[in-house]
């Protein structure tokens, strides 16, 4: 698989780092920046699936090349799945990680159940056809914020099977549990059957 070029339709540098750590030399992942594309792709839909599709389709329409995107949401059980698809802009259009965390903890403060999951949906466009893959990481929200690694909600999320928050883990440790890695592994297995 080593010589496959695949554009990753994202402007999130943290996502690019995490995905490149998973794919290693198996795929040649190009970020939008590396592909020379400057665009703020809209995410207007109310599902992760529809937003992921939008992102990969927009980039495919521009480049006509194989590409993928992913949309990820933190789904909190006691908040009926919120912030979910609104994860990036939960506390407003400034997309401020700390403001999003503060709002989430405020809304969760009187709830007993702190169960949550990260869900990643990948949309791959391969030879002009779209394929979707999903990765889920279940865990707990912990109001005691710790760690400075990762991004987004990582300082308050402890994956099942660990006592550490994602933000307390190295990228390799996070990738042992990560929703994003699970979805990406499915994409790689799929490409293995095609190549
Ligand atoms: P692109 O659309 O350009 O890919 P984005 O940052 O807008 O980048 P999303 O729409 O998928 O990405 O945003 C989801 C938000 O969910 C993101 O801004 C973070 O706040 C949060 N998030 C996503 N993955 C996460 C992870 O692995 N750990 C912690 N928070 C995460």
Q: What is the pTM of this model?
A: 0.95
pLDDT at residue 1 greater than cutoff 80: no
Is 71 assigned a catalytic role?
yes
pLDDT at 2 (0 to 100): 57
pLDDT at residue 129 greater than cutoff 60: yes
Question: Which atom of ligand 1 is closest in space to residue 18's alpha carbon?
Answer: 27
Residue pair 86/92 in contact by the 8 Å Cβ criterion = no
- Interval 132-152: pLDDT, tens: 999 999 999 999 999 999 999
pLDDT at 163 (0 to 100): 97
CB-based contacts of 12-21 (< 8 A; 24+ apart in sequence): 12/151, 14/150, 14/151, 14/152, 15/70, 15/72, 15/180, 17/171, 18/171, 18/174, 18/175, 18/178, 18/180, 18/181, 19/180, 19/184, 21/171, 21/172, 21/175
pLDDT at 23 (0 to 100): 92
Residue of 46, 71, 93, 154 marked active site: 71
> In this predicted structure, which of 1-10, 27-36, 108-117, 130-139 has the lowest mean pLDDT?
1-10
Distance (angstroms) between ligand 1 centre and the Cα of 151 equals 8
CB of 151 closer than 6 angstroms to any ligand 1 atom: yes
Instruction: Please state, in angstroms and rounded to a whole number, the distance separating the CA atoms of residues 180 and 85.
Output: 15
Q: What percent of the chain has pLDDT over 90?
A: 91
Q: What is the mean pLDDT of the chain?
A: 95
Mean pLDDT of 106-130: 98
Residue pair 147/169 in contact by the 8 Å Cβ criterion = yes
56 token code pair:
């990969």
**Greatest Cα-to-Cα distance within the chain, rounded to the nearest angstrom:** 52
Domain ranges, ordered by start, for the chain: 4-194
Mean pLDDT of 4-10: 93
Tell me the CATH architecture of domain 4-194. Answer: Alpha-Beta Complex (3.90)
Residue pair 31/15 in contact by the 8 Å Cβ criterion = no
Take atom 31 of ligand 1 and give the residue whose Cα is closest: 152
């Amino acid at each position: 698989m080593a010589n496959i070029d695949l554009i990753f339709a994202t402007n999130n540098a943290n996502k690019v780092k995490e995905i490149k750590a998973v794919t290693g030399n198996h795929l040649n992942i190009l970020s939008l920046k590396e592909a020379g594309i400057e665009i703020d792709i809209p995410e207007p839909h109310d599902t992760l699936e529809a937003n992921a599709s939008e992102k990969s389709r927009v980039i495919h329409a521009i480049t006509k090349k194989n590409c993928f995107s992913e949309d990820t949401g933190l789904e909190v059980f006691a908040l009926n799945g919120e912030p979910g698809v609104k994860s990036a802009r939960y506390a407003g259009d400034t997309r401020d990680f700390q403001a999003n965390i503060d709002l989430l903890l405020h809304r969760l403060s009187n709830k007993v159940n702190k169960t949550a999951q990260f869900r990643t949906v990948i949309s791959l466009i391969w030879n002009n056809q779209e394929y979707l893959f999903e990765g889920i990481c279940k865990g707990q929200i912990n109001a005691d914020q710790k760690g400075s690694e990762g991004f987004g909600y990582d300082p308050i999320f402890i994956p099942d099977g660990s006592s550490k928050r994602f933000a307390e883990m190295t990228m390799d440790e996070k990738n042992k549990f990560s929703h994003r890695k699970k979805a990406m592994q499915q994409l790689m297995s799929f490409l293995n059957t095609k190549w």
